[in-house]
Structure 1
């Protein structure tokens, strides 16, 4: 029996060596055919626009077509699941958001994929900080003013979001808890109607994307008083971050991001090739222009750096969701 086990163990080792050699050989001449880039959201949105520009540049750099496949549905779940269950060979790549790659696991009781076990992180493409905005007629000039106003007003105030579980919802719930004041959450079906009600005075404040808020800011209908994330935006150099405004909580330093991921088990050399191509593509003038138009900041990270920032953000997003009480079906 001992001898049989030794032969069996040797067989396993040889099989492992053979598989490893096969994976290395496969990675050496990767890619040999078209790469499918899955966008788990509808065509025409910001994620899709960036993905198509990225795919065009990566096609040139990889020497094979990078084809966009839109698989929208269920807050990014359908497309993300398809990639998580795909063959780990580098020919199926996900363009994911913070929601699909991180926060969905806290929001949904039953998620058909496990992002940490079934997906491999490749690189963060860009971050998209949000502005804290108020109506132009509001007397609130900064975050401290908003805090004082909410505490001094009977019933607090109301804050809009584009849906339960979105960052505006989570951040407003965190404000209410940490500032010990009442804030009523008003959910909308999209950012556009939320901003229209903010301009109309039906809302006191909210968080908004730069691309959606900018026309109202330029038109003098809204005023931005702070921005999430770690740094100021080039388009709004005078707009302070929350930390610069005296509110350095990790919950306000969070920003949503756009990233590439692959099925878990994809060979490391293949992941490295994808990361390098994406990194080069992000330096193209076309993509830089896209990022600026959409209020995004290009990032570019190695898989290791991505894992580090992901792990650091994990407990913060988990806390934000828990404080909000948001649950989705």
Structure 2
């Protein structure tokens, strides 16, 4: 090879060496995983299981930083503004990236400010009532709520999330006049349901399970198109006679990073994440919370986001939901 050809190749070789060195070196120190949810909820549980596996896979610890508040936008904003070096990652529910049509002043743009890594899992939520509600199915609940106009509260764990807008749509479409009480976390929402300060709430099966076991909460219907394997006796909303397309949204748990994070680091985190999602500890945690693992590519994740966003916009408009 001539000296001239060698000189021409040097820039490309330098870039390749730099990229390989970056991928090989990362992570060289502990990584922070921001979870915009309070300890004890589903996202926190999955985040901590993920962090443990990330440490095993990489040899570097991952520290979970809980940053709940403002429908998960506080923690998501923190991640969007973090140094884009791969040492701050984000695991959040889809609420925080899909609620822009509802909360007009969201302090970030998911498309512009965040890098899409993978969808970790999907959650089929469950509609449940407190034990004081004399309803054994959704039709009985609607009849009871209709007869108690102005006296029925429903909870949610994030303004603009699936739990909020689906219940808001139920109230507006069936003329129930229910009042919305938002909570900072799913844990607090479910505790309020168990305590009777809200009469109906939509939450994950895992979060509801202890209160169902204690008899303080009763599950009525699965929000989704299929019954959950762990809840074969709980019908779907569609099976219960609620066939509106607005009753079909799923909630995602997703992995993201600051937008300008180097491509090689993002590729490493994507590959590692997809391996972790398939691991036995994560699958056990998914099963415990009624989640379905995904672990798709960043391109597939972004495509699903772009596909669902207009559906969410229509649902928010139809529900009459508004940010509180």
Q: TM-score, normalised by structure 1?
A: 0.78
Separation of aligned partners in 1, 2:204 and 2:227: 14
Check whether the contact 1:161–1:169 (CA below 8 A) recurs between aligned residues. Answer: yes
**What's the CA shift for 1:210?**
1.9
Separation of aligned partners in 1, 2:244 and 2:200: 19
Deviates more, 1:255-264 or 1:230-239: 230-239
**What's the CA shift for 1:221?**
4.0
**1:78-131 CA-partner distances (Å, limit 9, x unpaired):** 33223212343433211122222222x234342221111111111111223221
Q: RMSD of the TM alignment (CA)?
A: 3.3
Check whether the contact 2:156–2:202 (CA below 8 A) recurs between aligned residues. Answer: no
Selected match of 1:191 from 189, 192, 195: 189
Instruction: Indicate whether 1:209 and 2:209 are aligned.
Output: no
Give 1:117's aligned residue. Answer: 112
Q: CA separation of 1:17/1:148 partners in 2, compared to 1, >3 Å: closer, same or farther?
A: farther
Q: CA separation of 1:25/1:212 partners in 2, compared to 1, >3 Å: closer, same or farther?
A: closer
Selected match of 2:311 from 313, 316, 320: 316
How do residues 239-278 of structure 1 correspond to structure 2 at under 5 angstroms? 239-278=234-273
Instruction: Indicate whether 1:327 and 2:323 are aligned.
Output: yes
Check whether the contact 2:152–2:179 (CA below 8 A) recurs between aligned residues. Answer: yes
Check whether the contact 1:124–1:300 (CA below 8 A) recurs between aligned residues. Answer: yes
Q: CA separation of 1:90/1:193 partners in 2, compared to 1, >3 Å: closer, same or farther?
A: closer
Instruction: Indicate whether 1:53 and 2:49 are aligned.
Output: yes
Separation of aligned partners in 1, 2:164 and 2:45: 25
Check whether the contact 1:169–1:185 (CA below 8 A) recurs between aligned residues. Answer: no
Give 1:6's aligned residue. Answer: none
Give 2:73's aligned residue. Answer: 77
**What's the CA shift for 1:302?**
1.4
How do residues 208-247 of structure 1 correspond to structure 2 at under 5 angstroms? 208-247=203-242
**What's the CA shift for 1:20?**
7.0
Paired residue secondary structure (2:238): coil
Give 1:178's aligned residue. Answer: 173
Instruction: Indicate whether 1:31 and 2:26 are aligned.
Output: yes
Separation of aligned partners in 1, 2:299 and 2:218: 38
Separation of aligned partners in 2, 1:19 and 1:150: 68
Paired residue secondary structure (1:258): strand
Give 1:108's aligned residue. Answer: 103
Q: CA separation of 1:107/1:68 partners in 2, compared to 1, >3 Å: closer, same or farther?
A: farther
Check whether the contact 2:124–2:204 (CA below 8 A) recurs between aligned residues. Answer: yes
Separation of aligned partners in 2, 1:260 and 1:191: 24
Selected match of 1:129 from 121, 124, 130: 124
Give 1:8's aligned residue. Answer: none
Paired residue secondary structure (1:314): helix
**What's the CA shift for 1:291?**
2.5
**What's the CA shift for 1:282?**
2.0
Deviates more, 1:189-198 or 1:117-126: 189-198
Check whether the contact 1:159–1:183 (CA below 8 A) recurs between aligned residues. Answer: no
Separation of aligned partners in 1, 2:267 and 2:277: 15
Deviates more, 1:139-148 or 1:220-229: 139-148
Paired residue secondary structure (1:175): helix
Paired residue secondary structure (1:112): coil
Check whether the contact 1:128–1:296 (CA below 8 A) recurs between aligned residues. Answer: yes
Separation of aligned partners in 2, 1:43 and 1:196: 18
